[in-house]
Amino acid sequence: MSLFVKKPIGQMLAQAEGGENGLKRTLGAANLVALGIGAIIGAGLFVRTAAAAGQAAGPGVTLSFVIAAIGCVFAGLCYAEFASMIPIAGSAYAYSYTTMGELVAWIIGWALIMEYALGAATVSIAWSEYLNKLFGGRIPYEWCHSPFESFTDSAGIHHSGIMNAPALIILLLLTLLLIKGSQESAMVNMIIVFVKVAIVLLFIIIGWQFIDGANHTPYLIPENTAPVTDSAGKVIADYSGWNKHGWGGVLGGAAIVFFAFIGFDAVSTAAQEAKNPKRDMPIGILGSLAVCTILYILFGHVLTGVANWKDFVDPEKGREASVAYAISTYMTGYGWLATAVTVAILAGFSSVILVMLMGQSRIFYTMSNDGLIPKAFGVLHPKYRTPYKANWILFIFVGLFAAFVPGNVAGDLTSFGTLFAFVLVSAGVWILRVKEPNIKRPFKAPIYPVVSALGVLICTAMIVGLDAQTLKVAFIWMGIGLVVYFLYSKNHSKLRHPDKI
């Protein structure tokens, strides 16, 4: 049997029904939009905006958000078509299985671990860092850093990390919540989303009064802008490249802020738990993308109006804590808002971790039902009907990474997994339109095949644009995945071996 054997669309739809033994359908359109916002708005909004403005786009970072959003919309439309047509928990993995075959499906399922599992670990480490900032650094260094991290304080005392306890604790709490049920998780996520969106809106509304029009002139970085150096004379920003000034800088900024949009695809992993997936999935995916795009544009406009974009060039000055810097420097009397922003970042991290853990466990659940990974990943809790064993296994894997490995190890691997999924989903819509033109499609991506083609091209270009080290590690990870497939998955596939069902 071919390595590219495809799962029949009818079988996929039957699996999506699930019946009494399947996942509970408890999520409405509002829950799905909140899931998307919960996954998208993290610290990326607070950090990437300043980074893009200071490195490439200047005040034109608002235009960068528009371009990045357009790139995401192409993939989002394709996700919406698939999610309404095949409402199953496996997301890009499931869509690839029925359009490009088992081996491709396995590859994308393995790649998604980089997006969701490693992403959750990395974000939980960042959550720990911001919690310590909120507490004024009162958490002992040893208990909020991995054993591979150390530093010597001003008194000459050397400190070495033991484990990142806060990261482990937040992962445990969110895992327990996910096991309790999707509806409960969605409700908590809704509350978190309300808190962080409210604080973002507060910054936009209050900050609008402090906008200095001079900071928006010129709107794009001029071509002849001189390089910026730090106190030691080292160049920290060079604007001579084509993508570092003018409209080229806007495009360069779009590549930077694109990663602040990652997460809307996680909505598709909840398709099997949506009450009316044919209607609600497109609303959830495209609605969350639209809401976040509007907030991002307004946020970027206010941030670069309150503070000059040059303030965000130096990471030590304003880029890493850009919003707090702008508030404390230019918004007299609103120091409390800087603390609120830290709370919003923590809330953002929490919802991102929650949705990533949920997405990965649902992908594991579907892969297990197909026989490609052990049965334990597909076992549902007898009372809550959630894949609780997958949640616990995922907690152990992610928890070990978060507690004992530095956060910078994952790097841009999360982005690789996301972009790879975007490419295959965009291509999959095109393939299925050609091979299965008569299938009922409750939602159809418009301007076919232009949308699919642009989704493939733009996301492939962004993969190529990742640094060489990230690509190297990603290909090593994919190689390990192929070994697992040929040693285990190929021999346990229920599609290949119906007798194993």
Task: Write the CB contacts of 213 (distance below 8 Å, at least 6 apart in sequence).
Answer: 305
Minimum mean pLDDT range among 85-89, 421-425, 429-433: 85-89
pLDDT band with cut points at 50, 70 and 90 for residue 405: confident
State the DSSP string of 354-418.
HHHHHHHHHHHHHHHHTTSS-GGGGPPPTTT-S-HHHHHHHHHHHHHHHHHS-GGGSTTHHHHHH
The first and second tokens of residue 429, run together, are 């819509």
What pLDDT sits at residue 254? 83
For residues 85-113, give the mean pLDDT.
84
Residue 270 near residue 283, CB atoms below 8 Å: no
Query: Alpha-carbon distance 161 to 92, whole Å?
Result: 38
What pLDDT sits at residue 320? 52
Task: Write the CB contacts of 404 (distance below 8 Å, at least 6 apart in sequence).
Answer: 146, 147, 148, 163, 164
Query: Alpha-carbon distance 42 to 64, whole Å?
Result: 18
For residue 341, count other CB atoms closer than 10 A to its CB. Answer: 22
- In the chain, where the domains are located: 9-500
Residue 127 near residue 345, CB atoms below 8 Å: no
For residue 293, count other CB atoms closer than 10 A to its CB. Answer: 19
Q: Backbone phi, then psi, for 108, in 5-degree steps?
A: -70, -35
Task: Write the CB contacts of 317 (distance below 8 Å, at least 6 apart in sequence).
Answer: 311, 325
Which pTM value belongs to this model? 0.79
State the DSSP string of 266-315.
GGGGGGGGBSSHHHHHHHHHHHHHHHHHHHHHHHHHHHHHHS-GGGGSSI
What pLDDT sits at residue 16? 63
What pLDDT sits at residue 85? 81
Proportion of the chain above pLDDT 90, given as a percent = 21
pLDDT tens by residue, 100-125: 889 988 998 898 887 788 888 888 88
Q: Which one-letter amino acid corresponds to residue 172?
A: L
For residues 54-64, give the mean pLDDT.
89
Q: Is the pLDDT of residue 443 over 90?
A: no
What pLDDT sits at residue 393? 94
Query: Alpha-carbon distance 194 to 396, whole Å?
Result: 30
What pLDDT sits at residue 108? 87
What pLDDT sits at residue 316? 57
Angle, CA of 151, 157 and 160, to the nearest 5°: 40
Query: Alpha-carbon distance 360 to 263, whole Å?
Result: 12
Give the residue, 324 or 321, on which the prediction is more confident. 324
Range among 80-84, 92-96, 283-287 with highest mean pLDDT value: 283-287
For residues 408-414, give the mean pLDDT.
60
What pLDDT sits at residue 486? 94
Name the pairing type of β-strands 228-229 and 158-160: unpaired
Residue 97 near residue 370, CB atoms below 8 Å: yes
pLDDT tens by residue, 342-355: 888 888 888 888 88
Chain centroid offset of residue 183 CA: 21
Name the pairing type of β-strands 228-229 and 150-152: unpaired
Residue 135 near residue 401, CB atoms below 8 Å: no
Give the residue, 18 or 360, on which the prediction is more confident. 360
Query: Alpha-carbon distance 167 to 160, whole Å?
Result: 17
Q: Is the pLDDT of residue 232 over 70?
A: no
What pLDDT sits at residue 51? 81
pLDDT band with cut points at 50, 70 and 90 for residue 410: low
Q: Give the CATH number of domain 9-500; options: 1.10.510.10, 2.30.40.10, 1.20.1740.10, 1.10.10.10.
A: 1.20.1740.10
Give, as one character, the DSSP assignment of residue 156. Answer: S
Proportion of the chain above pLDDT 70, given as a percent = 92
Q: How far apart are the first and last CA of the chain?
A: 17
Q: Tell me the pLDDT of the chain averaged across its residues.
A: 84
Residue 146 near residue 404, CB atoms below 8 Å: yes
